[in-house]
Structure 1
Amino acid sequence: MSKLWGKKTEIEFFEKSMSFATPEQLFYVSDENRYLAYWPRGYKGKKTTLQSRNALIGDFTERWTRDLIQKVVNSKGLFAVQGAICKEIALPNNSPADVVISKTGSVHQKPEDILAIIEVKMSVVWNWELKDDKLICLGDYKTHQGNPGLLRSDSMLKAIGKSINIRVSSFKASRIPIVIMGNTPITNNYYSKVDQLKIAGIVQGFCSINPEPLDDNGENIKKTKENGFYRYDHFNELQEFFDNLLSEERSFFSSMKSKKELGHIIELANKEDSYEKKAERFLKLIKE
């Protein structure tokens, strides 16, 4: 069975990265010359910024997610594509989709071939020390000063902003689900927001694929009230989610119309003789 995110994944990231990057590009260096993934809580020494790791962990997590999603959709004959470009739905060369599920394996995509868009918001979760060429785990995210993954407000806002940009780019984007995938919980400030975003249809969910982000089985949120955020603890859970997501075509719609206009649209749509045709007529009329 495929493994979800965990400490072994982060060890893999550092070990692969150290084959071509220097320790100084991957770790902060403390006053005591310790190489640390994050500044520990209570550290009062001199601090420096570390930008070089961002691109490395970004590329690693996107590739890792692509490989994970490929296993999810293998049986359907579909493709997980990293860095997909589709200008028609606001995914240009300089801001591609992190990962898409598609009918084709090409980087250059057509809207009709894209079945889902996955935005990846992951980073190193635990604190690590490189000592004598060995990685030592110093503790989970509550023991250091970083805000990894979906715990960062700017990561949440960027994901929301990009999702809205895709949604309003074209009617061709209205049928494509958008999922934000992270490897941490979210802060309680966003509980109601992610639920509302899911209810509104902007995104189809924020999720974490890190079953145990806290050591010693520390308490962390499994899901929000309306499942706007959900933590997947097993590959089968993730598989079931995407099976359901891809099983039926969906449509996003939004509008600002008077009750009279809406009533007229509903009346006209209701004349159709099946639920599917009623929905198609409603969606067509509401866009006019």
Structure 2
Amino acid sequence: MVQLWGKDVERKFFEESLKIATPEQLFYVTENNEYVAYWPKGYKGKKSTLQSRNSFIGTFTEKWISDLMNKIVIEKGLFATTGVVCPEIELTESSPADVAITVEKGKNQKAEGILLIIEVKMSIVWNWKYINDAKEGPKLVCIGDFRTHQGNPGLLRSDSMLKAIGKSINIRVSSDKASKIPIIVITNTPITNSYYEKVDNIKKAGVIQGFFSVNPKPMDGLDNSLKQTEGKGYYKFDSFNEIRGYINSILQSEINFFSGMKNKEEIGRIIEIANKEDSYEKKGEAFLKLIKR
């Protein structure tokens, strides 16, 4: 059974990263010389910044999502790849897609070969203490969930949310070729209530098809974390089967993004012209063509 994000995955991240990085690159060091993933709530000692962990967790989470997606799309003969570049829709070497599902294998893609773009906004959710025990050797101890520390992981951090939205808008307005490619944002945290309505509106506008968490239980004990917003702009997957069903569904759908500011008369003319076509599909094609003029 395929497991989604949880403490075991975070433990694996630290264990693997400690093979190539020092504890000081992965943990904050308190005044008492304790190594912690985040400053605990109530800690009032001297603090320092920790930027070095970002690249490690970014690489790990993007690879983890890519592996998860490949478990879903492999039976369709598709590929999930990290760092996909497609300049015609503003996916450049300096700002590639974190993960994309494509028809052909490889990082360099044409727009028509990209079936889904995934922005990954994930980080360490729980707080961890690293202990280098003289007798037992190094060990990791989970000391609390995100409510017990001073960090704002994943999409609980406002600038992470804004970066995901900004990048998605940049892709959407880059070219008509981007209009048929769904974009989703994957995280491993809830979102703040100030973004509930915003993510629903963004989904409704078609810019992003949804913000999704792959962490079923981000809270220790009784987990009453957000399952979904009213308009399902944010949705938390509780199982692999649930996310597999969604990904398969969105890959099968033929969607089109459109936007514009037109007066009622212009819209009326467009509807009248499109309505002359003899099938719903042709009416839709005509409407999309005319609305973009």
TM-score range, shorter chain: over 0.9
Alignment of 1:255 onto 2:255 = no
Match of 2:225 among 217, 220, 223: 220
Report the Cα offset of residue 217 of structure 1: 2.5
1:10-49 maps to which residues of 2 (within 5 A)? 10-49=10-49
Taking the aligned partners of 2:84 and 2:242, their CA distance within structure 1 comes to 25
Report the Cα offset of residue 249 of structure 1: 1.2
Structure 1: 4+ residue segments shifted above 3 A: none
Secondary structure, counterpart of 1:215 in structure 2:
coil
Match of 2:287 among 261, 267, 282: 282
Q: What's the counterpart of residue 56 of structure 2?
A: 56
Letter of the 1:110 counterpart: K
Letter of the 2:238 counterpart: D
Count of aligned residue pairs for this structure pair: 288
Taking the aligned partners of 2:71 and 2:84, their CA distance within structure 1 comes to 18
Match of 1:229 among 191, 216, 234: 234
Q: What's the counterpart of residue 66 of structure 2?
A: 66
> Any idea what the Cα deviations from partners look like across 1:24-56, whole Å, max 9, x if unmatched?
000000010000000000001100100000000
Letter of the 1:236 counterpart: N
Alignment of 1:110 onto 2:115 = no
Taking the aligned partners of 1:186 and 1:110, their CA distance within structure 2 comes to 33
Report the Cα offset of residue 2 of structure 1: 1.1
Report the Cα offset of residue 262 of structure 1: 0.5
1:1-288 maps to which residues of 2 (within 5 A)? 1-131=1-131, 132=133, 133-288=138-293
Relative to the length of structure 2, the TM-score reads: 0.97
Taking the aligned partners of 1:267 and 1:148, their CA distance within structure 2 comes to 49
Relative to the length of structure 1, the TM-score reads: 0.99
Report the Cα offset of residue 144 of structure 1: 0.3
Letter of the 1:228 counterpart: G
Report the Cα offset of residue 274 of structure 1: 1.0
Secondary structure, counterpart of 2:221 in structure 1:
helix
Letter of the 2:277 counterpart: E
Report the Cα offset of residue 106 of structure 1: 1.0
Report the Cα offset of residue 173 of structure 1: 0.2
Report the Cα offset of residue 126 of structure 1: 0.2
Taking the aligned partners of 1:4 and 1:184, their CA distance within structure 2 comes to 12
Report the Cα offset of residue 74 of structure 1: 1.3
Consecutive unaligned residues in structure 1, runs of 5 or more: none
Report the Cα offset of residue 218 of structure 1: 2.5
